[in-house]
Amino acid sequence: MDDFMHREDVERRVPQLAHYDALTSLPNRALFCESLRKIVRQAGMNHRIISVLVLNIDNFRDVNNTLGPTLGDELLRQLSVRLLECLRIRDMIARLGGDEFGCILVTPDGSADAGIVASKIREVLRQPFELQGHQMTVTASIGMSVYPTDSLDADTLIKNAASALNRSKGAGADMYRFFTAEMNATAIKKLDQENALREALDQNEFVLYYQPKMELIGGRITGVEALIRWNRPGHGLIPPLEFISVLEQTGLINRVGAWVIDSACKQITEWRHAGLGDISISVNVSGRQFSQRNLNRDVIRAIQDNDIDPELLEFELQTERALRENSIDFDLLELELTETSLMTHARRTIDTLKKLKALGIRISIDDFGTGYSSLAYLKRFPVDVLKIDRSFIMNVTTNPADAAITTAIIGMAHSLDVKVVAEGVETVEQFNFLRMRGCDEIQGYYIAQPLPAIEISKLLSSNKKLLNKVDPSVKTILSRV
């Protein structure tokens, strides 16, 4: 009897041993290949795109020799945990052998998924590994192939990914490459931008421009909004919409976001020392920063380092972006996974906002009206300011629907004791419309374009003249700034 039980046990264990890697508990090469074959067979019917990633650690042999095999194994174990973090629940990762890992990503459209995962992997490896008191960083090289573009056959896909990996290695460490030339061209361009963005922070290539906000009654400048630009050598001044999404996809937004907050605080101090008084600055925060928990720490540190009254720093919660991020979660909600994640998100955001608000920081909702923004949000989030999106203001004097929406937003916000700022005001007609509807503040080319700090200083020192902005003739004053 005992004997029989034992045999059954062994029989149950054999497939386990044959399919999983003992060190990392990940599927092994055999299971990886078998799964890919199965997935490829189904993909044709479901019109799915499959991406195969193969990666290995750069100079692992040297690393292993230096660390010794025990720590080398520990590194591989920790690495496998981090790789898992980069994938979604339906993706697969396996240890193919040694320091080589493989991933299978299945998507309806394949849209740049493999590239995004490759970027994420490079980013998570940037954090040092803790190995018995030793800190160590490694980089990885990645090769990718895609079904059906590169091949319809599972084994060929793996071979192609491996040959892309070899080319990636040939190009240097910390790189990724696609098998197909065309995809590669796009990937290389993106990789170039990513690498350049990574260096941009160290090379001091980011700059903040500032755009003033003005009260409609009285014409006082109430503060400025900080808008980032990338002064990329050889490319000129690059607007945020061309690089913020790359920062978000790679997670670099957290470091750049912290830089923005810190620079804004420094600017407040500088203007104060220059005798311009206390100028409040609003900073754009991406949804991803909000969900990363370290925003709080960044803000508190920046405020303390610069000895600044927290009231001077105003966050513009990027509603649209946050919602876009949530709507990606919403897709997963169909699988009953993202609902939890969505709820956690919302709760965490509210928590973060409450903490920031308790510090005295004001919160505003940017681009209001464009996303799925609703009254419910205003009630749930501790919001001080609501910014009506430029798309409504653009036609506010010509399109009755936009006029009605704008009027309704102003009324609704005021009834909730929330201040309203209109974005993108360009004409005197828009200005007058908004003043008549009781809008609190405006921002837009009618007042001033986003300007470098030095130009803002000039503008603010002529603030008394600006008071006359209520009268359109002030435009001539501004054009001289």
Give the footprint of ligand C2E on this chain (CB under 6 A).
211, 227-228, 239-241, 244, 260, 284-286, 318, 366-367, 390, 423-426, 443-445, 450
List the x/- string, 363-382, binding to Mg ion by CB under 5 A.
---xx---------------
In the bound complex, what is the minimum distance in angstroms from residue 283's beta carbon to Mg ion?
Answer: 9
Residue with tokens 């000129």: 236
* Closer to ligand C2E by Cβ: residue 286 or 406: 286
Buried b (16+ CB within 10 A) or exposed e, 371-408: bebeeebbeebebbbbbbbbebbbebbeeeebbebbbe
* Closer to ligand C2E by Cβ: residue 52 or 285: 285
In the bound complex, what is the minimum distance in angstroms from residue 52's beta carbon to Mg ion?
Answer: 40
Which residue has its beta carbon closest to ligand C2E?
A: 444
* Closer to Mg ion by Cβ: residue 114 or 420: 420
113 binds Mg ion (CB under 5 A): no
* Closer to ligand C2E by Cβ: residue 95 or 213: 213
In the bound complex, what is the minimum distance in angstroms from residue 210's beta carbon to Mg ion?
Answer: 12
Q: Give the neighbor-by-neighbor strand order of the sheet with 92-97.
A: 92-97, 100-107, 49-57, 140-147, 176-178
In the bound complex, what is the minimum distance in angstroms from residue 319's beta carbon to Mg ion?
Answer: 9
- Round to whole Å and give the CA distance between 385 and 238: 28
* Closer to ligand C2E by Cβ: residue 177 or 437: 437
Q: Are 315 and 349 in contact (CB under 8 A)?
A: no
Buried b (16+ CB within 10 A) or exposed e, 285-318: bbbbbbbbeebeebbeebbeebebebebbbbbbb
- Round to whole Å and give the CA distance between 234 and 328: 35
Q: Are 206 and 229 in contact (CB under 8 A)?
A: yes
314 binds Mg ion (CB under 5 A): no
Which of ligand C2E, Mg ion, none lies near 239, with the C-beta cut-off 5 to 8 A by kind?
ligand C2E
List, in sequence order, every residue forming a beta bridge with 209; answer none if it has no partner: 227, 452
Q: Are 168 and 142 in contact (CB under 8 A)?
A: yes
Helix (H) or strand (E) holding 385: strand 385-388
In the bound complex, what is the minimum distance in angstroms from residue 470's beta carbon to Mg ion?
Answer: 23
DSSP state of 387: E
Candidate list 51, 211, 284, 352; residue touching Mg ion; CB under 5 A: 284
* Closer to Mg ion by Cβ: residue 314 or 316: 316
Query: Nearest CA to 79 among 51, 53, 57?
Result: 57
* Closer to ligand C2E by Cβ: residue 62 or 242: 242
Which of Mg ion, ligand C2E, none lies near 426, with the C-beta cut-off 5 to 8 A by kind?
ligand C2E
- Provide the binding-site residues for Mg ion, judged by CB under 5 A: 284, 316, 366-367, 423
